[in-house]
């Protein structure tokens, strides 16, 4: 800990390292799993890395550990970090909500006496903070110039050489690895309802029906994010229906082969149940993945909800009615 | 003349542009590009309506209905009768 003494008062500047410990990494792992989702926070305020002086740059970030740690582990120079109170939400989402915003920056600059600590009145913000921050308003309200750095903290050392981001540094990506890191949380969201439905189906209709629930939901929560760019179609719902359809084929084939214990119309009906019932489940989960991507617009999501949710509901409803009719018929 | 898009709500008024290029800097999908005296929309269909350009345009030459892109949040807001879609502490999967 070190204390920066300034003209009007003492600012508590916490000293931190750019090295991530094993405990930090374990915390990231828990965050990725969604464990204590809103609890991965650092204290908002001013931090020092290395031995910064009044000429050192100031980087602004969110008080979410994944954001804060991505920044500090990428920094190789003596500098300050100003952590805003975003309630433990990452930079981009917090900017969308306005908590990573103009007002919070201005207040935080004042409460930390930043103007007395640094001589250069400049703040380097992550580019993805921009939806919440009006750079010209920050300048007007607290006379600090906002400079938008690159999208990814890893590009900061390169950026700092000429204080210029290449067009490539300004683009957000959505790589295979990015998508894989989202899978655990998707899985955590669906696992309990899926197992509950599977248990119910096991009692009502047997092991094949139970596993169809698990497969449809696994396809939407795990396979879909990973295969996203390679599944045909543009709309997420269409991609989901295709993936769910593919997942339903083996169930239809098994039913038709008579392995479900029925023959003739009974097995055909069961096959149709899988083909109608599984794709909408996968597609619904696929549609909900839009919010996790880095490129879908609210307009597209609204269009998809309007255009595809009724179709998904109909398909699923038909499957339910057919399944109910089949199970009743089996009693006669 | 106002530049609009079919697939999103991005709306740009080149007549107001002062060529500060803030929109080019903040856009994560390279929607805007330099073009002499004013900025032009180079890649309008890639806009994800994050709102960064609108907020950072000092002369209000850009308008976009920005908002939450989470389907759950949008469906809930529709079910509750059209209030603003919010995701955040305690709910939602987007953040």
Q: Where are the domains of chain B?
A: 3-63, 68-95
pLDDT at A36: 86
The verdict on A23 and A75 lying in the same domain is yes
| Cβ-defined contact of B48 to A89 (cutoff 8 Å) | no
CB-based contact A116:A6 (threshold 8 Å): yes
- Total length of chain B: 95
- The residues of B whose Cβ lies within 8 A of any Cβ of A are 7-9, 22, 24-30, 46-52, 55-56, 58, 65-75, 78, 85-90, 92-95
Of the three residues A152, A170, A188, the one that is the final residue of a domain is A170
Same-domain status, A191 and A128? no
Contact criterion met (CB < 8 Å) for B7 and A171: no
Pairs from B1-7 (Cβ < 8 Å, separation ≥ 24):
B3/B40, B3/B41, B3/B44, B5/B41, B5/B44, B5/B45, B5/B47, B6/B45, B7/A297, B7/A299, B7/A300, B7/B45
Calculate ∠ Cα A84-A116-A126, nearest 5°: 30
**Architecture in CATH of B3-63:** 2-Layer Sandwich (3.30)
Rounded to whole angstroms, how far apart are CA atoms A75 and A63?
Answer: 17
Indicate whether A25 and A114 sit together in one domain: yes
CA pair distance A299, A289, nearest whole angstrom? 15
Give, rounded to a whole angstrom, the gap between the first and last alpha carbons of chain A: 79
Cβ distance A133 to B55 less than 8 Å, yes or no, reads: yes
Which residues in B lie closer than 8 A to residue A304 (C-beta atoms)? 71
Q: And the tokens for A302?
A: 């609204």
Mean pLDDT on B61-73: 87
Return the pLDDT at A130.
98
Report CA-CA distances (Å) from A72 to A165, A200, A205, A299: 19, 48, 54, 35
Q: What is the edge-to-edge ordering of all strands in the sheet holding B3-4?
A: B3-4, B11-12, B62-63
Q: What is the ipTM of this complex?
A: 0.89
Query: Are A54 and A102 contained in the same domain?
Result: yes
Tokens of A229: 């760019």
Distance to chain B for A277, nearest Cα, Å:
21
- In a shared domain, residues A88 and A162: yes
The pLDDT, as a whole number, for residue A332 is 62
Last residue of one domain, picked from the residues A119, A140, A170: A170
pLDDT tens digits, one per residue of A244-286: 999 999 999 999 987 656 667 888 999 999 999 999 999 999 9
Give the span between the Cα atoms of A315 and A282, in whole angstroms. 12
- The DSSP element (H or E) to which A60 belongs, if any, is strand A58-61
CATH number at residue A72: 3.40.50.11600
The CA distance from B5 to B41, in Å, is 10
Looking at CA atoms only, how far is residue A111 from chain B in angstroms?
24
Look at B75 and A302 and tell me if their CB atoms are within 8 Å: no
Instruction: For residues A292-315, give the mean pLDDT.
Output: 95
Question: Which residue is closest to B76 within chain A, CA to CA?
Answer: A305
Full domain range(s) for residue A127: 2-170
Query: Which chain B residues have a beta carbon less than 8 Å from that of A167?
Result: 30
- Per the model's pLDDT, the better-predicted residue between B76 and A283 turns out to be A283
Whole-angstrom distance, CA of residue A203 vs CA of residue A286: 28
Question: What size, in residues, is chain A?
Answer: 332
Same domain for A125 and A68, yes or no, is yes
Is A139 an interface residue toward B (CB < 8 Å)? no
| Dihedral over alpha carbons A233, A239, A243, A249 (to 10 degrees) | -60
Structural domain count of chain A: 2
* Mean pLDDT over each residue of chain A, to the nearest integer: 93
């Amino acid at each position: 800990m070190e204390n920066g003494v300034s003209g009007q008062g003492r600012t508590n500047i916490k000293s931190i390292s750019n090295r991530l410990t094993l405990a930090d990494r374990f915390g990231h792992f828990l965050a990725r799993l969604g464990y204590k989702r809103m609890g991965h926070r650092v204290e908002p305020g001013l931090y020092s890395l290395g031995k910064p002086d009044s000429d050192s740059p100031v980087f602004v970030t969110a008080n979410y550990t994944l954001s804060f740690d991505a920044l500090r582990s990428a920094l190789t120079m003596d500098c300050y970090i100003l952590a805003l109170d975003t309630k433990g939400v990452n930079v981009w989402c917090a900017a969308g909500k306005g908590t990573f915003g103009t007002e919070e920056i201005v207040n935080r600059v004042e409460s930390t006496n930043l103007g007395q600590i640094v001589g250069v009145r400049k703040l380097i913000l992550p580019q993805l903070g921009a939806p919440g921050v009006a750079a010209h308003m920050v300048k007007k309200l607290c006379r600090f110039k906002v400079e938008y750095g690159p999208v990814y903290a890893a590009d900061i050392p390169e950026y700092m050489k000429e204080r210029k981001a290449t067009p490539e540094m300004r683009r957000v990506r959505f790589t295979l690895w990015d998508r894989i890191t989202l899978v655990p949380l998707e899985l955590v969201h669906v696992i309990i309802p899926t197992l509950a439905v599977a248990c119910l189906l096991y009692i009502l209709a047997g092991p094949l029906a139970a596993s169809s629930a698990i497969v449809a939901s696994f396809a939407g929560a795990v396979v879909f994010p990973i295969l996203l760019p390679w599944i045909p179609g543009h709309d997420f719902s269409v991609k989901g229906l295709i993936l769910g359809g593919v997942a339903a084929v083996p169930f239809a084939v098994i039913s038709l082969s008579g392995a479900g214990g029925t023959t003739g119309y009974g097995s055909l009906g069961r096959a149709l149940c899988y083909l109608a019932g599984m794709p909408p489940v996968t597609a619904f989960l696929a549609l909900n993945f839009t919010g996790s991507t880095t490129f879908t617009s609210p307009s597209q999501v609204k269009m998809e909800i309007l255009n595809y949710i009724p179709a998904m509901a109909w398909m699923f409803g038909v499957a339910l009615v057919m399944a109910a009719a089949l199970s009743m018929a089996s009693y006669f | 003349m106002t530049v609009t898009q079919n697939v999103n709500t991005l709306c740009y008024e080149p007549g107001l542009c002062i060529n500060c290029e803030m929109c080019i800097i903040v856009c994560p999908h390279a929607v805007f590009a330099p073009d002499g005296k004013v900025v032009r929309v180079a890649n309008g269909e890639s806009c994800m309506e994050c709102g960064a350009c609108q907020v950072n345009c000092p002369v209000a030459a850009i308008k976009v209905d920005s908002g939450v892109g989470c389907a759950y949040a949008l469906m809930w807001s529709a079910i509750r009768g059209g209030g603003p879609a919010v995701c955040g502490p305690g709910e939602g999967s987007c953040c």
